[in-house]
């Protein structure tokens, strides 16, 4: 049995057709753009901007956003070509199966668990923390922290109830239907975009130009020794940090099998959501580092850095800090929603291929959603969120996504050579230049991340290889 055996394009297109047995096509271009924005604008914007600025990029965090966006754009063009050509659930996993074979496809599918499932657990824990902050600490410590956490006063956590509740509510919404989920997501997107624009508009008048000088962190600055901690190297490392804020546009491609006109809607959804968010991110980063000096974010504010900047440097607008917390909660909710949806769709495709047990692709008789997969995912993510501390770094989620981006760029290049005559409703421009640049930029951001993140991701992939050789390889439908 070859590790590079592939699924044919004809087989994938037959799966995409699906008929009454397939996923229900209910999403249009606007819904897909909103889905992408819903996944992209979340904790990353409000939390990672200050972190990247303080740790590596300084005021040039705006350039970090541009570098990260360029890497995403190259990958996004490749995703758009595949999503329009092969409109099926599974995203990068499915594309790799058709171009580089089963082993590579499994590797991507396993890496995406870092982005979607573990990412959803981490974000739900953060959602719980922000909810309690908004309520003034009304939830007792033991009911919003894991058993492995102890407060300064010696109170032990029991389980994280709010994290479990938000996961349950969003799981029920996903089981009810994709269109209903998209509608709720669109409302959330409107709320958080309004608050982001409000911060940019009001904060602009409080910008102190001195805070933007020097623009990049100078060489020799204490605490910033090393190539990736100052200057343009710091901008690149900052891009790796803020890249977490871009995660989500690729989740649009997991909904390809539910798009009404995938050949038209998928490129608009992927590239449209990326473009909107990039502009907002650059403006947001410029305002935040102009209102407060980047050096303050090392010790002050931390996750609540935006609220800190508002309360200290924008007198009379303290209410905006509360609204930012509301926006963060809304952002967390939509991010969790899209992550749970994306993971269940990847599992759906992997199960259809025999690489995971059949129950992951069983559809609800009425709603035609992968409800068993949703419930299993809720149990896995919920156990993690309720009983494990939320100390997972966003960098671990980023590295799994960057790895998938690299392989999607490689896959487009390969398919242009191996299947040049396949119908492509959307064609990525300047191939192979665009895929090569995507590979270079995304690989550079992986290299710039810290060693612990790289080692942890490597160990995770070794576990995945074990699962593949013990179960998936022998159960693959390509064996028959």
Q: Is residue 15 a part of any domain in this protein?
A: no
CATH code of the domain containing 59: 1.20.1740.10
Q: Identify the burial level of 89 via C-beta atoms within 10 angstroms of its C-beta, where 0-12 means exposed, 13-18 middle and 19 or more buried.
A: buried
Residues 425, 419 contacting (CB under 8 angstroms): no
Q: How confident is the model at residue 319 (pLDDT cuts 50, 70, 90)?
A: confident
Cβ partners under 8 Å of residue 201, min gap 6: none
Nearest CA-CA partner of 41 in 246, 178, 185: 246
297 pLDDT exceeds 70? yes
Residues 309, 324 contacting (CB under 8 angstroms): no
Residues 435, 443 contacting (CB under 8 angstroms): no
Q: Is residue 286 a part of any domain in this protein?
A: yes
Number of domains forming the structure of the chain: 1
Please list, residue by residue across 230-245, b when 16 or more beta carbons sit within 10 angstroms of its beta carbon and e when fewer do: bbebbbbbbbbbbbbb
User: What is the span of the domain harbouring residue 276?
Assistant: 24-479
Give residue for tokens 């989620």. Answer: 397
Report how far residue 426's alpha carbon sits from residue 77's, in angstroms, rounded to the nearest whole number. Answer: 9
pLDDT one-digit tens code per residue, 17-60:
655 555 667 778 888 888 788 777 776 777 778 888 988 888 99
Q: Is residue 18 a part of any domain in this protein?
A: no
Three-state secondary-structure class, residue 155? coil
Q: Identify the burial level of 209 via C-beta atoms within 10 angstroms of its C-beta, where 0-12 means exposed, 13-18 middle and 19 or more buried.
A: exposed
Question: What is the DSSP track for 168-193?
Answer: HHHHHHHHH-HHHHHHHHHHHHHHHH
pLDDT given for residue 43 in this prediction: 63
**Rounded (10°) angle between helices 394-418 and 451-467:** 60
Dihedral over alpha carbons 301, 305, 307, 312 (to 10 degrees): 60
7 pLDDT exceeds 80? no
Q: Is residue 256 a part of any domain in this protein?
A: yes
Mean pLDDT of 205-226: 89
Cβ partners under 8 Å of residue 419, min gap 6: 9
Q: Is residue 171 a part of any domain in this protein?
A: yes
Best mean pLDDT range from 18-32, 301-315, 398-412: 398-412
Q: Is residue 5 a part of any domain in this protein?
A: no
Three-state secondary-structure class, residue 144? strand
CA 460 to chain centre: 18
Q: How confident is the model at residue 393 (pLDDT cuts 50, 70, 90)?
A: very low
Residues 28, 327 contacting (CB under 8 angstroms): no
pLDDT one-digit tens code per residue, 117-134:
877 887 888 788 778 878
Q: Is residue 189 a part of any domain in this protein?
A: yes
Q: Is residue 6 a part of any domain in this protein?
A: no
Token digits of residue 112: 């995406």
């Amino acid at each position: 049995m070859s590790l590079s055996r592939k699924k044919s394009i004809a087989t994938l297109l037959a799966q995409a057709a699906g008929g009454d047995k397939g996923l229900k096509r209910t999403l249009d271009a606007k819904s897909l753009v909103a889905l992408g924005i819903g996944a992209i604008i979340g904790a990353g914007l409000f939390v990672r901007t200050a972190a990247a600025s303080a740790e590596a990029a300084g005021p040039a965090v705006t350039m970090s956003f541009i570098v990260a966006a360029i890497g995403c754009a190259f990958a996004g063009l490749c995703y758009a070509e595949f999503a329009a050509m092969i409109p099926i659930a599974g995203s990068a996993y499915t594309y790799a199966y058709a171009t580089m074979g089963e082993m590579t496809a499994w590797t991507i599918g396993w890496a995406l668990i870092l982005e979607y499932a573990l990412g959803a657990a981490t974000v739900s824990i953060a959602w719980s923390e922000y909810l309690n902050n908004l309520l003034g600490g009304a939830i007792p410590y033991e009911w919003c922290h894991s058993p492995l956490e102890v407060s300064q006063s010696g109170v032990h956590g029991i389980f994280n109830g709010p994290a479990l509740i938000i996961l349950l509510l969003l799981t029920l919404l996903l089981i009810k239907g994709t269109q209903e989920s998209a509608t709720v997501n669109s409302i959330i997107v409107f709320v958080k975009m309004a608050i982001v624009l409000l911060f940019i508009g009001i904060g602009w008048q409080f910008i102190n130009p001195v805070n933007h000088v020097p623009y990049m962190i100078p060489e020799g600055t204490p605490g910033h020794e090393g190539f990736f901690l100052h200057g343009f190297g710091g901008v690149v490392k900052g891009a790796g940090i803020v890249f977490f804020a871009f995660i989500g546009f690729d989740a649009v491609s997991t909904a390809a099998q539910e798009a009404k006109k995938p050949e038209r809607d998928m490129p608009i959804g992927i590239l449209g959501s990326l473009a909107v968010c990039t502009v907002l991110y650059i403006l947001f980063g410029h305002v935040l580092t102009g209102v407060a000096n980047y050096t303050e974010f090392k010790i002050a504010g931390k996750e609540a850095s935006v609220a800190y900047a508002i309360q200290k440097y924008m007198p009379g607008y303290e209410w905006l800090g509360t609204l930012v917390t509301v926006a963060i909660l809304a952002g967390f909710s939509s991010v969790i929603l899209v992550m749970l949806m994306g993971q269940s769709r990847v599992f759906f495709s992997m199960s259809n291929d025999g690489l995971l047990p059949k129950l992951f692709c069983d559809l609800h008789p009425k709603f035609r959603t992968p409800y068993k997969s949703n419930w299993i995912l809720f149990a896995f993510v919920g156990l993690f969120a309720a009983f494990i501390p939320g100390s997972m770094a966003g960098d671990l989620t980023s590295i799994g996504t960057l790895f998938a981006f690299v392989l999607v760029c490689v896959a487009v290049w390969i398919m242009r050579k191996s299947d040049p005559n396949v119908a492509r409703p959307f064609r990525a421009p300047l191939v192979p230049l665009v895929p090569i640049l995507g590979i270079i930029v995304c690989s550079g951001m992986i290299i710039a991340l810290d060693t612990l993140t790289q080692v942890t991701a490597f160990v995770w992939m070794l576990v995945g290889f074990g699962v593949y050789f013990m179960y998936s390889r022998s159960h693959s439908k390509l064996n028959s």
